[in-house]
């Protein structure tokens, strides 16, 4: 065996028990448990051996590398160009919504009237905000997610009865979950009408009977059918004389000029729908939730149904949803509406310091998407920072994690989906892995 050089980092790696005995590390052990800390110590020791970390910085590096207490979830900068990335948790909460979650985290008056000291309606502030945002709704109710909203409607209005729905709207929403299976799991039967590409009002009318619970219209939020097609709008379904429920999917409360083909709750209710269901964490930009907006009597039936208790949302969701609805700007809205020229400038400002560091970087035009099962076929013109593809894994596993997309042999970072105040973090993350 070769004698090691005196400056060989392997010689100077502090021993595990010595590191664990350091008071700062011992405090971390008391808080997080020995195994978690020991794993981090081992990893940092490896980095000292590899010469990446000076031996005298080991403890500081261990403390910095400890996962945040309580969750294994990591912060990720979404540079994929998909605004609502399903695997990254869909909508990013606004600062106001995050503050609201923190406020509600302890004891809070979610069900208490602080003036009278008596019980009050749960989530009344959130419901008031939604009613104010959608005056066309007689009342609103909130459940866990869009799927739960559909389950509650199907159970309360059509268990043992029929849901009349077009064959062109029997949608698979992702991860193998299919709306028809979800609806039938409630004990309702589907009465399919029309064909994959064409359904007429007469098809619906011919299917109605005393077994009809309601007519359901589902927005095809993750695919587009073009060519010889025909569907029936809510305004015409409303003439059928049975309850009309519209699943708009992505949760726009009012029309958005940037997404002209996305339905919104206000327009659909104004057209005569009795109930609208939608997700809270798609284009609305809020927490995961299922919104139910509609006539006061139907909403009251849903709220009073025993299943409503099993689907109810917690105080953190109510807080984040209220803040999202009351304050217009949020990261999802900002990302959808970002001006391409501003994005080009942000990309240039990120690329310049990287180029000066000798990194192979360029700024290219690109296209972002809404993603998350929204606005299929709509491209949002964008710009990307283009980097060598071998940086992808290191960036994704770095801290903070930066997720881009590899396309055409390059790693592309689309800043449309990165919060504006995080651009500098992108620069330092790329610098750190490109060394």
Ligand X SMILES: *Cc1c(COP(=O)(O)O)cnc(C)c1O
Per CB under 6 A, residues contacting ligand X are 145-147, 173, 218-219, 221, 247, 249-250, 279, 290, 373
The smaller minimum CB distance to ligand X, of residues 279 and 417, is found at 279
Shortest Cβ distance from residue 106 to ligand X (Å)? 28
Shortest Cβ distance from residue 223 to ligand X (Å)? 10
CA 93 to CA 116: how far, in whole Å? Answer: 33
Can you state the angle between helices 296-304 and 146-158, rounded to 10 degrees? 100
The smaller minimum CB distance to ligand X, of residues 250 and 382, is found at 250
Query: How close are the terminal C-alpha atoms of the chain, in Å?
Result: 31
Instruction: Select the residue whose beta carbon is closest to ligand X and give its number.
Output: 146
The smaller minimum CB distance to ligand X, of residues 146 and 213, is found at 146
CA 150 to CA 278: how far, in whole Å? Answer: 9
The smaller minimum CB distance to ligand X, of residues 194 and 249, is found at 249
Shortest Cβ distance from residue 318 to ligand X (Å)? 16
Shortest Cβ distance from residue 374 to ligand X (Å)? 7
The smaller minimum CB distance to ligand X, of residues 75 and 223, is found at 223
Cis peptide before 366 (omega within 30 of 0): no
CA 171 to CA 180: how far, in whole Å? Answer: 7
The smaller minimum CB distance to ligand X, of residues 81 and 373, is found at 373
Shortest Cβ distance from residue 305 to ligand X (Å)? 18
Shortest Cβ distance from residue 241 to ligand X (Å)? 25
Q: How far is CA 326 from CA 92, 132, 133, 255, 287, in A?
A: 16, 9, 8, 17, 14
The smaller minimum CB distance to ligand X, of residues 10 and 178, is found at 178
Shortest Cβ distance from residue 71 to ligand X (Å)? 22
What is residue 412's three-state secondary structure? strand
CA 397 to CA 331: how far, in whole Å? Answer: 23
What is the side-by-side order of every strand in the sheet holding 410-414? 362-368, 380-387, 410-414, 405-407
Contacts of 282 (CB under 8 A, 6+ apart): 84, 90, 91, 146, 249, 250, 251, 332, 372, 373, 374
Shortest Cβ distance from residue 76 to ligand X (Å)? 19
How do strand 189-193 and strand 275-279 relate by DSSP bridges?
Answer: unpaired
Side-chain-facing half-sphere of 337: CA atoms under 13 Å: 11
Shortest Cβ distance from residue 150 to ligand X (Å)? 6
What is residue 43's three-state secondary structure? helix
Q: Which two tokens stand for residue 136?
A: 């066309």
The smaller minimum CB distance to ligand X, of residues 221 and 317, is found at 221
Residues 173 and 149: beta-carbon distance below 8 Å: no
Shortest Cβ distance from residue 433 to ligand X (Å)? 33
CA 279 to CA 260: how far, in whole Å? Answer: 18
The smaller minimum CB distance to ligand X, of residues 157 and 218, is found at 218
The smaller minimum CB distance to ligand X, of residues 146 and 168, is found at 146
What is the helix (H) or strand (E) element at residue 367, kind and residue range?
A: strand 362-368
CA 185 to CA 183: how far, in whole Å? Answer: 5
């Amino acid at each position: 065996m070769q004698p090691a050089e005196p400056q060989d980092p392997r010689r100077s790696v502090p021993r595990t028990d010595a590191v664990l005995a350091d008071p700062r590390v011992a405090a971390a052990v008391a808080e997080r448990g020995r195994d978690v800390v020991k794993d981090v110590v081992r990893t940092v020791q490896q980095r000292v051996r590899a010469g990446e970390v000076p031996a005298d910085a080991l403890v500081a590096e261990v403390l910095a590398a400890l996962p945040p207490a309580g969750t294994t979830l990591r912060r990720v900068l979404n540079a994929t160009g998909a605004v609502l990335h399903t695997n990254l948790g869909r909508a990013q909460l606004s600062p106001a919504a995050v503050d609201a979650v923190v406020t509600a985290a302890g004891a809070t008056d979610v069900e208490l009237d602080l003036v009278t000291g008596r019980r009050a309606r749960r989530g009344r502030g959130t419901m008031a905000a939604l009613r104010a945002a959608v005056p066309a709704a007689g009342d609103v109710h909130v459940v866990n997610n869009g799927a739960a909203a559909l389950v509650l409607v199907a159970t309360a209005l059509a268990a043992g009865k029929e849901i009349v729905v077009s064959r062109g709207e029997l949608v698979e929403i992702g991860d193998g979950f299919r709306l028809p299976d979800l609806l039938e799991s409630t004990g309702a039967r589907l009465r399919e009408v029309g064909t994959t590409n064409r359904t007429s009002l007469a098809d619906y009318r011919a299917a109605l009977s005393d077994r009809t619970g309601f007519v359901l219209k589902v927005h095809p939020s993750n695919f587009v059918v073009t060519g010889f097609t025909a569907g029936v709008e809510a305004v015409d379904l409303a003439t059928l004389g049975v309850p009309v429920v519209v699943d708009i999917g992505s949760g726009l409360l009012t029309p958005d000029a940037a997404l002209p083909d996305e339905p919104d709750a206000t327009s659909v209710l104004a057209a005569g729908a009795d109930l609208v269901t939608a997700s809270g964490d798609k284009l609305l930009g809020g927490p995961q939730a299922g919104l139910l907006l509609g006539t006061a009597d139907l909403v009251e039936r849903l709220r009073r149904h025993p299943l409503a208790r099993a689907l109810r949302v917690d105080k953190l969701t109510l807080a984040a949803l209220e803040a999202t609805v009351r304050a217009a700007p949020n990261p999802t809205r900002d990302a959808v509406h970002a001006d391409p020229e501003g994005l080009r400038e942000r990309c240039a400002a990120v690329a310049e310091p990287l180029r000066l560091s000798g990194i192979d970087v360029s700024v290219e035009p690109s296209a972002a998407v809404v993603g998350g099962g929204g606005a299929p076929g709509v491209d949002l013109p964008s710009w990307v920072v283009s980097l060598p593809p071998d940086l992808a894994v290191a960036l994704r596993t770095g801290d903070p994690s930066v997720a881009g997309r590899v396309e055409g042999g390059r790693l592309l970072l689309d800043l449309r989906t990165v919060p504006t105040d995080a651009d500098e973090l992108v620069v330092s993350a790329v610098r750190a892995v490109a060394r």
